[in-house]
Structure 1
Amino acid sequence: MVPLIDIAVESPRWTEAGNEGEDPLSLDALVEAAIGAAVARAGIALHAEAEVSLLFCDDAFIRGLNHQWRGLDKPTNVLSFPSDEDLEDARLLGDIIIAFETSAGEAKAEAKSLAAHVSHLVVHGFLHLIGYDHEEAEEAEEMERMEQVILADLGIADPYHGTAPVAPGGEAQVPNEALETSGKRQDHSLGEILPGGMSRRLAGS
């Protein structure tokens, strides 16, 4: 079952254009496909009313969150805030936040489409929400393998091919920037941290 998906767009950059020569992203279709593939491969049982929130923002916005929740005063590509509830009981699985400038820059540097890279970030962020992590080498390898399989299901090439290995106690490394480390969800929602913008919901199935 795919959870209810709540999408908010804080930065107009996400709706204006993709990288050079690319059409603007269809965020609704991209997110629904990525999360649907992740749920199918993970084989998880979710609450019938499970919901996940995604915020598509700019570097300035995610930098503030990265500083507030992780003590890192710099932008990053994606942040995840999992619920502290048990997965099978959680109605709110958590939040995934993705920044445009960093994500677009990484995609360009790695010679991949922005759609493929953002799909990877959505999958990576969602796996954090359902319990995957990369603090230790073994769990990082497990998470990386799951990402590779899910992305293959979506017709997306292995994003780790030819990149540096996962460092013990560190983050899964990709060129330019590391995929984020998740933080425990606090008592907040995207509605409380989002200053304005567009939002919409996609029905779960």
Structure 2
Amino acid sequence: MISFNYETEFELHNEDQLSVWITNAILNEGFRQGEINYIFCDDAYLLDLNIEFLDHDTLTDIISFDYTLGKLISGDIYISIERVKENANDFDVTFDNELKRVMIHGILHYCGYKDKSGSDQAEMRSKENYYISKLS
């Protein structure tokens, strides 16, 4: 089950389409979908989580808590709508495109993709682009 929760003045208008997209990406990566919760929030909300759980006093666009067991993908994905808007502006892409990138980014982490090294970042970006193209 994929659920979408809102802790800020924002709401998706295509939840069903996005749920199918996310499920298809998980299946395509060889996993099964468990319980995935997206929580859309603002910078302050996400900063509090970053400080409390990760001991990072910095703004970020996404924090994911991975509860995956074996091939069953589950987790909570917190996304700052403020950061996504700013990043979209900084990267000269649409808000919608950047939001899709961040949403699938969390799922790809659950599937085992990393983004610490340059080669890992390139692979992650390639996968993000691939799945974004599947939704467009």
Question: Residue 32 of structure 2 aligns with which residue?
Answer: 46
- Specify which of 47, 55, 62 is matched with residue 63 of structure 1: 47
Question: Residue 9 of structure 1 aligns with which residue?
Answer: 6
1:72–1:145 Cα change, 3 Å: same
Amino acid in the other structure paired with 1:128: H
Q: Mind listing any 5+ residue stretches in structure 1 that lack a counterpart?
A: 16-24, 156-205
- Specify which of 81, 91, 100 is matched with residue 65 of structure 2: 81
1:28–1:149 Cα change, 3 Å: same
In terms of fraction of residues, the more strand-rich structure is 2
Amino acid in the other structure paired with 2:31: A
CA distance in 2, matches of 1:112, 1:29: 24
Aligned-residue RMSD, C-alpha: 2.2
| Deviation of the 1:114 alpha carbon | 1.5
What is the SS of the residue equivalent to 1:54? strand
Question: Residue 77 of structure 2 aligns with which residue?
Answer: 96
Q: Does the 8 A contact of 1:77 with 1:102 survive in 2?
A: yes
Question: Residue 129 of structure 1 aligns with which residue?
Answer: 110
Q: Percent identity?
A: 24
Would you say 1:35 and 2:32 are equivalent positions? no
| Deviation of the 1:27 alpha carbon | 5.2
CA distance in 2, matches of 1:104, 1:135: 23
User: What is the number of residues matched between the two proteins?
Assistant: 136
What TM-score does the superposition give when structure 2 sets the normalisation length? 0.85
| Deviation of the 1:106 alpha carbon | 1.6
What TM-score does the superposition give when structure 1 sets the normalisation length? 0.59
| Deviation of the 1:34 alpha carbon | 4.1
Question: Residue 150 of structure 1 aligns with which residue?
Answer: 131
| Deviation of the 1:111 alpha carbon | 3.2
CA distance in 2, matches of 1:65, 1:30: 28
CA distance in 1, matches of 2:37, 2:8: 16
Q: Does the 8 A contact of 1:80 with 1:97 survive in 2?
A: yes
Q: Mind listing any 5+ residue stretches in structure 2 that lack a counterpart?
A: none
Question: Comparing both chains, which one has the higher relative contact order based on Cα–Cα distances under 8 Å and sequence gaps of 6 or more?
Answer: 1
Q: Which has the larger radius of gyration?
A: 1
